[in-house]
Structures are given as structure tokens and as C-alpha cells.
Structure 1
Amino acid sequence: MNLEGKRVCITGGGGFVGSHLADRLVADSDVTVVDTFANGRREWVPDAAAIVDGDIREASVIGEAITAETDLVFHLAADKDPSRDEVGQFRENNALTESVVERCREVGVDSIAFTSSSVVYGEAPRPTPEDYAPLEPISIYGASKLGEESLLSVHAHSHDFTVWNFRFANIVGPRLQLGAVIPDFIRKLREDPSELEILGDGRQEKSYMHIDDCVDAMCHVVEHADAPVNTYNLGTRTTTSVRTIADIVADEMGIEPEYTFTGGDRGWVGDVPRMRLSVEKLAALGWEPDGSSDDAVRQATRELLEQDFETESD
């Protein structure tokens, strides 16, 4: 789908990824952002975008955001806390996606791009390709994303939708908020530059991708992949350990803290300690990540050090 001139709705468009996506699209597309702004900020939404303020599970809100004139929905709205170990998160996230697909069917919108996650794979062999099976998530968050992918698959195969699923690595950059490792380290070290507590043993090792590359890859996939269901990993070919992230943050802050560790091989219940996605399918479509995970972490750290995120909501 050529995005130029299209009418696009972004659910969760006031959040970290959604607002950057809106920034990218407004130059050439007619963008509507719908968000409660519980996990984002209204000022992040570009002036050229229309804003619908509210919960997409409410008929009046989703009815205003997605109309018969909408060409494509980027569905990003979700409870994104990967450490939340409650079944309620599964119900809430799936209810958000149900609301979107039901409204799309009602008004004849047949194109949805969905932000999923690498956590749908669980603890899979690395690098993990998109066709790896069985998918066995180990967190409620991963289960919710897999459930949403399944619902979208049904609509693609039974109701003539076109669906793009993006299985994200760890996306980093400006506007990333507390709860993610880089801003958490910055906050802790601002409070006490002499010591940094690291969850787990610090050996957790994952792929990190800068938000600019993430948005560029999302747009490329939507414009070049046209199967009923198009599932793509978005990440880099390299990984970075939590300890290395601590080193990068400390280096960029010009300090040398002592590290302490909470212990164990993961940071929380459901944490996948090691993750690296195969991006060969993405490369075959004509888009390849430019930098490494270390590059993404260092760039994001520099950007976040210039951002007063501590008083902002996640």
C-alpha cells in the first residue's frame, strides 16, 4: 500500500512509537491519532494530525477515529508493561484489538498494521525467524500479543483484511519512558551516581533498535508486502547485554558507578533473558537495519539525557 495521500488512523498515537510514526506520516498522509494519553503526551502529537481523545473500547471514540474514509489503521494502543503478571492485561489488550477490528468491519476498512512483539516466541532458538513454531510465550504480555495476532489472522483469511504484524525487538529512542531499561538507569544514576542496581544478573542479552529505524521499517513493510497476513521481525542483527547498557549509560553520563545485582537470570517473571530476531525476511523485502544494538542504545541514551522524562507519564 502506498501511504502517500492515505487517511491513516493511529491508535495509541500519543505514545512512544505512535507519536514518532505520526511525525513520519503527517507530511504525506491525513493522520488521525486516538489515545487516552495515559501512556503518552498530547504535545508529542504533531500539529498536523487530528486528535481523538478517549478509549477505543468506547463506541463513540472508535466511531470518530475510524470512519468509512479511513484507508489504514496502525493499531498500537495497548497496556505495554511486559512485567505485569496479571491475566487482566490479556483481556484488556485483546478487547482493544476486538474494538478495532469490529469497527473496521462495520465501516469497510480492510487494512490493519499491528505492533506485536518478540515475546510471542517465548524462549526460542536464536536468531528466531518469523516461521518458528511452536509459539510459546512465557508472559501475559506475550500471550496477549499472540492472541491479538490470531484475531487479526482470522479477519485476514475470513474477511478479506490485509494485516501487517510487526514483532518488535526492544525499541529505544527519545520519548521512551520509565519502565524501560535506559531511562530507568538514567533515573537511578541521577539519584545516586555512585551505585546502580541492575535487575537479574546483568547477562540478559537482547536486540535493540532505534525508533527512527523502527518507523522506517514499518512504513517500508506496509508499502511493499501485500499478502493477507504479513508478519515481520523488526530488530538488528546484534544483541546487547544489560550490563553493557549500564556501561554505555554510565559512559555517556561521565560517571563510574559500582554495580549491584538483584540476582537470577532474568529481570522479572516472564522476562525472556536472551532474544535475537532473524531479520532476513525484512532484508529480502529490501530494508536492512543500519546500525548495531550498541549503536541504538548509545544514540537513545544521548537523546534521553536531553529529555526531562522523569516528570512524564510512560
Structure 2
Amino acid sequence: MTMIVTGAAGFIGSQLVDRLLADGHRVVGVDNMSRGTRENLALALPHKDFTLIEGDCAEPATLTAAIAACGPADMVWHLAANSDIAAGVADTRIDMRDTFMTTWGAVEIAKASGATKIAFASTSAVYGAHPDPLVETHGPMLPISNYGAMKLAGEALISAAVESHLKQAWIFRFPNVVGDRATHGVINDLFLKLKRDPTELEVLGDGKQQKPYLHASDLIEAMLYIVDNADEPRALYNIGPEDEGFDVAGIAAGVIAASKTGARIRYTGGDRGWVGDVPKFSYSVEKLARLGWRPSMSSAQAVARAIAEVAVQRGFA
């Protein structure tokens, strides 16, 4: 099959590209390279079945000719989005453009390329700050960040497209994803802070924030499994670990140990890291378990593996 992957040079997108190529698919990658890197595509770029198009999904008119030259496509994997939630709160234009308009662009790209299927990287942030276990049928959805709001709007847009030109859509609600090639997220951010000052590590909030973490390798396995096994026209699934998560204080301690800096921790205080941050939530993955997929790692195991990987990536090991 011919797959179009948006955000192809990013953290998760590049690893998905590698896996799709390994599975024998032809892949057209799209990325504006704002966060993605060619280094992330080191395995893909020489591959005979990979084409990289540098362009912005929020401006699909500039991409359709290049994509059309690659021939008809079967499916779009849409992973391009703003990954800085705090920045999107400070400036609402960021998520309007980079989270919602890129989704609109992905739907337009699917239409122009003849692709009738789309897989969408959504987020647990669509739920907002609900105390109950977050299940796919939960309502009402009341996101507390612009990122979550624009992802929820993207889900609605894709749902509507199934009524017109799409035959099937898979919507994945991600937890916190960690691992190699990280471009954002708490582990990456903490290592970058230690690069700047190896004596003190600033940690946003009080360190008690506790969230589910999934390693990128498990995430990709889950997405592929859902696409292969969930046959409803609009397949909506939470993806995550089967535990209550891991706390930020534990992550900070692990990062300091891996960095061998001996830095002291300075908490900024408060129960959350930024406006729009959900400090703790319970995430149900029972629907995915019923479909037949379970993660290979707990939150703690995913964090430990990711810390080791990002330590190498950021020059600490």
C-alpha cells in the first residue's frame, strides 16, 4: 500500500515511517521541518520506497501537486501537530494553525491523493480535567488547553469526512509518549535544562503530577494493531499503559541519575506545570484490551527505557 505520513520527520512520525517501510509499504512523508529533522529519517531517506516532501499541512494547496506526482495513495497517517501545549495557551493562533488546520489539510490531502482511509493522532487532552476513568464514550468533552480543543475539533472534522469521501477513520487518543528521537516532553525538556545548567534542575509544578506513559515502540504497535483489527467506520481508541502512571518527581530523579550531574531539583510549585496541564488522570484502555492488544511495558518501564535513550540522544551517555 502507499501511505502518506504527515509529521514524518518528527518523534513518532519518523519511527512509524521506519516501521511502514519495514512492512513493505511505499511511504510519502510530509513535514515542514519545524521540529522534525533529517537525522530522524536517516534510515528512511535512502530507502527506494520513501519520498520526503517538505511542506506545511496547513497549506495543502502547496502540497497536492508534489503528492500527486507520487501517484495515488491508500491511506493517510496524520501525526503533524503543535507539540508545545503551553505555547498554544499563550498564543491561540499556534494550535489553530498547527493542530487544527494541519488536520483540515490532512483531510484535503487524503481527498486529493485518492486515499479513503485516515489514521489520526489525537490525545487524552480532549477529555479535560475529569476525575473519573477516561473512557472513549465519556462526555461531555471539556478540554482545558487549546491543544486539546483543536484535537477535539480535528476528531469532529475527520468524523464528518467519513460521511463524504473517507471509507474509514481510526482516531487514537494518545497518553504521554516517550522514547528515542524525542523532540518534546518532560524527559527531553529536563535533559535540555541540564545541558544549560548541570547544577540545578528546574521542575515545573510540585513533582506530584502523575500521568500514564507509553513508549513510542508500544504506541506504534498499538496503532498498527488497531488499523488491522478495528473495522468500524469511525474507530476511536484510547492507547496507553495498564496502570495509574508515573510521577514527575520520579522522572526528574531518573534524569539526574542518567545525566550523572548530581544536580539539585528546584520545583516551581503548584499542582501543575502550566495553564492547560492536567496534573493527574485515570485512563481506561479496556476497549483496546478487548480488541486484543496490551502494552509490553508499564509506565515506569517506559520511562526508564526512554530516559536511557534520551540520555544518549542529548549527549549524556
Task: State the TM-score, normalizing by the size of structure 1.
Answer: 0.91
The residue aligned with 2:280 is 274
The residue aligned with 1:11 is 6
CA contact (8 A) 2:75 2:110 kept: no
Following superposition of structure 1 onto structure 2, how do residues 1-314 of structure 1 map, counting pairs within 5 Å? Answer: 6-27=1-22, 28-45=24-41, 46=44, 47-48=46-47, 49-56=50-57, 57-65=59-67, 69-84=72-87, 85=89, 86-92=91-97, 93-177=99-183, 179-238=184-243, 239-308=245-314
Q: Deviations over 1:169-207 (max 9, x none)?
A: 011111112x42112222223444432211011111101
Q: Deviations over 1:73-128 (max 9, x none)?
A: 00111122111212213421222222221232344321000001110000123431
- Once the two structures are TM-superposed, the CA of residue 253 in structure 1 deviates from its matched residue by 2.9
- Once the two structures are TM-superposed, the CA of residue 299 in structure 1 deviates from its matched residue by 0.4
Q: Structure 1 91/307 Cα, relative in aligned 2: closer, same or farther at 3 Å?
A: same
Select between 85-94 and 142-151 the one with higher mean Cα deviation: 85-94
- Once the two structures are TM-superposed, the CA of residue 309 in structure 1 deviates from its matched residue by 7.2
- Once the two structures are TM-superposed, the CA of residue 247 in structure 1 deviates from its matched residue by 1.5
CA contact (8 A) 1:33 1:65 kept: no
CA distance in 1, matches of 2:186, 2:283: 19
Gaps of 5+ in 2: none
CA contact (8 A) 1:169 1:208 kept: yes
Select between 245-254 and 63-72 the one with higher mean Cα deviation: 63-72
Give the root-mean-square deviation of aligned CA atoms: 1.9
- Once the two structures are TM-superposed, the CA of residue 39 in structure 1 deviates from its matched residue by 0.9
Match of 2:279, SS?
coil
Match of 1:123, SS?
coil
Match of 2:131, SS?
coil
Identity of aligned residues (%): 41
Select between 91-100 and 299-308 the one with higher mean Cα deviation: 91-100
Match of 2:17, SS?
helix
AA matched with 2:61? A
Task: State the TM-score, normalizing by the size of structure 2.
Answer: 0.90
Match of 2:118, SS?
strand
CA distance in 2, matches of 1:181, 1:94: 23
Match of 1:275, SS?
coil
CA distance in 1, matches of 2:300, 2:54: 36
- What is the aligned residue count? 304
Match of 2:134, SS?
coil
Which of the pair has the greater relative contact order for Cα pairs under 8 Å at 6+ separation?
Answer: 1
AA matched with 2:79? L
AA matched with 2:251? I
Match of 1:25, SS?
helix
